[in-house]
Structure 1
Amino acid sequence: MNIKKIIPGFIVCSVIAYIGTVLGGIFPKLGGASFAIILGIILGNTLVKSDKFAAGSVFSESNLLSYSIVLLGGTLNIYSVFSVGVKGVSFIIIQMMITVAASIWIGKKMKFKKKFTYLMGSGNAVCGSSAIGAVSPVVKPEQNDLGISITIVNLVGTVLMFLLPFTSRVIFHGDTVMTSALIGGILQSVGQVIGAGQLVNNEVLQLATIFKIIRIIFIVVLVSYLGKKVAKDSKLAKIEKEVEIEVEVEVNETTLEETKKRGFKKLNIPWYITGFFIFTTLKTLGVFNGDLSNIFHSISSKFEIIALAGIGMRVKFSTLFSQGPKALTYGLIIGVVQVVAAVALIELMYGLSF
């Protein structure tokens, strides 16, 4: 690690993050994260687009986001899961599965690259930019795909943050549990959940946050799943190149079966996911008290915003303009699927009539 090369870009990312945080305080419904990545994109394509800032932006987007995820684990208590009951946990699991599956399927139909669909599925299913950052080391996407996915997920989440409270009033008539499930089960970031909850009432804010926490806890499962899926994709791609067309039919079944066995035997979980789980366990056992958890949360949030600034700096306007409209349409379709699926599941599980 060359510190001298990192410092210029890191300083720029930190300044962008600070400005984003200030703007987020002025416009809390949007949040510092949204401003950080937008400012990063603008400045990274204008005033600070020099290569001398590249090393620092890479460090910010990768290392700091990993540290942020570990620290986030120290703020979560596994026992929070039990407060929403079996129905609540089941709703979250099914909703996440639908979101990931729909993202991959829709993305395939729209001819997006597999790795980009994995990022979109992760960001929408779990916790926005944090989830995308968590899965990116196992997915190993192209740099522009990483930035665009985070931008689109944050943008769609911001739109839904204002729409879901109104939607819940119309459909669920102010029911606390169902409104909380809708908000906590769909919105991408914790800040968006809190913002939407504040538009309803304090009870919804608290319960929606717990639904959100459950989704974050399942990030470990998602990373494990995508790690296996990417490994399988890679092996199957090699098989397709190596196997002769004439004998493909004969060897395909055996080869695929062997590939599945090898892929599922080897599970390569990134260090920060292990750290996340350890910190969550320590928090649950009471090793981390409230004050320490608050410190973890504060540092984690700062690291995440600096990382988002770094990611924004590495998104090029040319790529965003060429792929952005199509990607935005993709993100909006996923958002619609999430809302429809969530309303249907809540209706089915909790039995509220329209």
Structure 2
Amino acid sequence: MSEDLDRTVPARPEAEAQPEAEARPETGARPEAAPARASRPAVAALVPGLALVLALAVAGTAVGKVFPLVGGPVAGIVLGVLLAALRRPGARWRPGIGFASTRVLQASVVVLGSQLSPAQMVQVGVGSIPVLIGSLVVCLAAAYGIGRWLGIAGDLRTLIGVGTGVCGASAIAATAPVIGAAGVEVAYAVSTIFLFNIAAVLTFPLLGHLLGMSQHSFGLFAGTAVNDTSSVVAAATSYGRTAADHAVVVKLTRSLLIIPICLGLAWLVRRRDRAAAEATARTRLRVVRLVPGFLIGFLLMATANGLGFIPAAAHHGLGELSVFLITVALAATGLSTDLAALRRTGPRPLVLGACLWVVVSVTSLVLQFLTGSL
């Protein structure tokens, strides 16, 4: 994106008026050092936010040690939400918080790959397909029916349905340009999904213990019924390390479903509006970009573990590192909570989000029961 912006910025008039000065740089000048100097402020800008998030993560980890049923990741996001409710971090803190909620989360998923092997991933991923497909179909059908009944616009109900059924904000971001959704609709959908992500992190582990679910069963439940990757990992990690391993594989398998969904939506948009044909064609050409880079890193890490490149003695330490990184990312996610934006969303999208959240959760449990995986 930055390259596109660079190409659109017009040349400065003074640069045109002094071509000779550009052609003959001053002796001893080293213009190639400029990018390094420019990058230093950007790196320094991350420090305040990262320091704040790390402090919350350490506190959350301590709370998780005292209350194992809660766990560090859940404590981290709760502390972040509470601090954001008291006073939202200003512009000085946002670069580091944004970095932690995205890059650190991706790093935690990559490190989590060290706990699995390709054979385990195939076994878990293939075994989860009936529950994944069934939950997604029911979710999209419910989004259409309930959304129409509530009088919610088609694009908004599509975004909420895809976000709930596939992979949260990532699915919304991938779907929005395909259907031509407005920015305000994207904001509403993301706010709605985020609210129920937090609700899932706080309630699903308790529900799992209440139902007496095994580590494998809860991993499948969290991977199919929770939205964003961060919330899946947080809820499953609170339940247990094995549950987290399975939940991540199920969630990443589920995330791949966004590719056929985007292709199908692009085809529907093309039929609905032939003027969008060129845009949807470009979307098809770039569909490979829908596969996130951290998924590739996760697969590479698991492959390295399966081939024996990761010593068995390092597994425990890497697992602990992954949990701490998840706590860091969740604390940043909590700090990013905009309660005012959630209030501005209004009741109807929230009602749709709540209905879909319940529908997907119940459908996942029913399908797990019917397939003998509960």
The residue that corresponds to 2:99 in the other structure is: 59
Matches within 5 A, 1:334-345: 334-345=356-367
Deviation track 1:224-267 (CA, whole Å, cap 9, x = no partner) reads 4566568x38x948983836xxxxxxxxxxx59x9579717741
SS in 2 for 1:29: coil
Aligned mate of 1:79, from 102, 119, 122: 119
Aligned mate of 1:120, from 145, 164, 179: 164
Aligned mate of 2:136, from 93, 97, 100: 100
The residue that corresponds to 1:318 in the other structure is: 340
CA contact (8 A) 1:181 1:211 kept: yes
Instruction: Quickly say closer, same or farther: Cα 1:338–1:121, change in 2 above 3 A.
Output: closer
The residue that corresponds to 2:55 in the other structure is: 15
Matches within 5 A, 1:146-161: 146=190, 149-161=193-205
Deviation track 1:118-173 (CA, whole Å, cap 9, x = no partner) reads 333235xxxxxxxx5776774689578556534422423432322344446xxxxx
Aligned mate of 2:70, from 14, 30, 53: 30
How far apart in 1 are the matches of 2:220 and 2:373?
A: 17
CA contact (8 A) 1:182 1:343 kept: no
How far apart in 2 are the matches of 1:50 and 1:33?
A: 23
Deviates more, 1:333-342 or 1:38-47: 333-342
Residue 329 of structure 1: how far off its partner (Å)? 4.9
Matches within 5 A, 1:178-217: 182-187=217-222, 188=226, 189=232, 192-193=235-236, 211-212=246-247, 214-216=249-251
CA contact (8 A) 2:64 2:70 kept: yes
CA contact (8 A) 2:233 2:326 kept: no
Instruction: Quickly say closer, same or farther: Cα 1:286–1:137, change in 2 above 3 A.
Output: farther
TM-score, length of structure 2 as denominator length: 0.66
TM-score, length of structure 1 as denominator length: 0.69
1:6 counterpart = 2:39: no
Residue 334 of structure 1: how far off its partner (Å)? 3.9
SS in 2 for 1:74: helix
How far apart in 1 are the matches of 2:261 and 2:321?
A: 28
CA contact (8 A) 1:119 1:135 kept: yes
RMSD: 4.1
How far apart in 2 are the matches of 1:155 and 1:218?
A: 23
Whose radius of gyration is greater, 1 or 2?
2
How far apart in 2 are the matches of 1:333 and 1:346?
A: 20
Residue 219 of structure 1: how far off its partner (Å)? 5.1
The residue that corresponds to 1:40 in the other structure is: 80
- Could you tell me which runs of 5 or more consecutive residues in structure 2 were left unpaired when the two chains were aligned: 1-38, 177-182, 227-231
How far apart in 2 are the matches of 1:151 and 1:184?
A: 21
How far apart in 1 are the matches of 2:244 and 2:298?
A: 19
- Could you tell me which runs of 5 or more consecutive residues in structure 1 were left unpaired when the two chains were aligned: 124-131, 169-175, 198-204, 244-254
Deviates more, 1:292-301 or 1:306-315: 292-301
The residue that corresponds to 1:295 in the other structure is: 317
How far apart in 2 are the matches of 1:347 and 1:48?
A: 43
Residue 49 of structure 1: how far off its partner (Å)? 2.5
CA contact (8 A) 1:106 1:330 kept: no
Deviation track 1:147-203 (CA, whole Å, cap 9, x = no partner) reads 6534422423432322344446xxxxxxx8xx5664332135456446557xxxxxx
